Amino acid sequence: MQLHTINTGFFKLDGGAMFGVVPKSLWNKVNPADENNLCTWAMRCLLIEKDGKLILIDNGIGDKQDARFFSHYHLHGEDTLDKSLAALGYHRDDITDVLLTHLHFDHCGGSIVRQGDRLVPAFKKATYWSHQRHWKWATVPNDREKASFLKENILPIEASGQLRFVDESGPVIIPGLTVRLVNGHTDAMMLPQLRYKGKTLVFMADLLPSTGHFPIAWVMAYDMFPLKSLHEKRSFLEEAAAGGYVLFFEHDPHVECCVPEQTEKGVRPGAGFRLADY
């Protein structure tokens, strides 16, 4: 098995929204905001290469929305999905499976592209994997979350016939790849988990967007059920620290991975490292 980091660029989100009730005087030391109170975040995906499969976990924000939409998020950086794949000698058409942790636009926007007046799958030969309960949640969204579930990112996947749903009770797609369900950020978000080089590696999605979110109370205002997120974070981090898990961060602007450590203040991130250096 080989794992590869797929960088798709950076975007900006409001710092207060990303850190919830935590005062700016605290979170600004972790991820300093610009003059508009916006902080930079990565959109970092993971490519799993095993047994003839190329499995892409999440795919960034995509490029099909209009200029008004993108003006809110200030995309920047030199990395794109296509450039990151090409650096490994791959093309979108080589991807066999796309596993979507959840259907918020910054995680699944690259799933669909515009082809003239049509919206078509960006990964023509891939099976797209979602969770049935989350799919229903996203396609009949609540008023608070519906701005994150864009129909143009989601419905064309089903229309293409390439959609399948994960059964989280056992391995997913390949032996050894499983998913953990968490429900605080959004209903039935999947955290992919696998054994890699003798360690358990977990793709953190939005349960733990960055190393700055390790303190238990540092929960995003974007979370639908913040008290549930708090409980899920505490339980997971204690398990991860005890087990020496490698955590892979989707949104941390600087740190790809770390192994959490138990400290007097609770579980905190260990030294950060690049997946390629592990």
Structure tokens at 196: 């890699």
**pLDDT tens figures, 111-127:** 999 999 999 999 999 99
**pLDDT tens figures, 3-26:** 999 999 999 999 999 999 999 999
What is the arithmetic mean of pLDDT over 175-204? 97
- Whether the per-residue pLDDT at 38 is higher than 90: the answer is yes
What is the arithmetic mean of pLDDT over 219-231? 98
Q: What is the pLDDT confidence band of residue 168, given thresholds at 50, 70 and 90? A: confident
- Whether the per-residue pLDDT at 225 is higher than 90: the answer is yes
Q: In terms of C-beta distances under 8 Å and separation of at least 24 residues, what long-range contacts does 158-166 make, across chains too?
A: 160/120, 160/121, 160/128, 162/121, 162/126, 162/127, 162/128, 163/127, 163/128, 163/130, 164/127, 164/128, 164/129, 164/130, 165/129, 165/130, 165/131, 165/132, 165/135, 166/99, 166/129, 166/130, 166/131, 166/190
Helix, strand and coil percent figures for the chain, each rounded to 5 = 25, 30, 45
**pLDDT tens figures, 53-104:** 999 999 999 999 999 999 999 999 999 999 999 999 999 999 999 999 999 9
Percent of the chain at pLDDT exceeding 90: 99
Q: How much is the pLDDT for 257?
A: 98
Q: What is the pLDDT confidence band of residue 169, given thresholds at 50, 70 and 90? A: confident
- Whether the per-residue pLDDT at 193 is higher than 90: the answer is yes
- Whether the per-residue pLDDT at 219 is higher than 90: the answer is yes
- Whether the per-residue pLDDT at 149 is higher than 90: the answer is yes
Transcribe 61-119 into DSSP letters. Answer: S-S-S-HHHHHTT--BSS--HHHHHHHTT--GGG--EEE-S---HHHHGGGEEEETTEE
- Whether the per-residue pLDDT at 198 is higher than 90: the answer is yes
**pTM of the entire structure?**
0.97
What kind of fold does domain 2-277 have according to CATH? Metallo-beta-lactamase; Chain A (3.60.15)
Q: How much is the pLDDT for 125?
A: 98
The sheet that has 163-165: what strands, in order across it?
2-14, 38-50, 53-57, 97-99, 127-130, 163-165
3-class DSSP assignment, residue 60: coil
Q: What is the pLDDT confidence band of residue 128, given thresholds at 50, 70 and 90? A: very high
What is the arithmetic mean of pLDDT over 252-263? 98
Quote the mean pLDDT of the chain. 97
Smallest Cα–Cα separation from 16: which of 2, 28, 4? 28
R_g of the chain computed on alpha carbons: 18
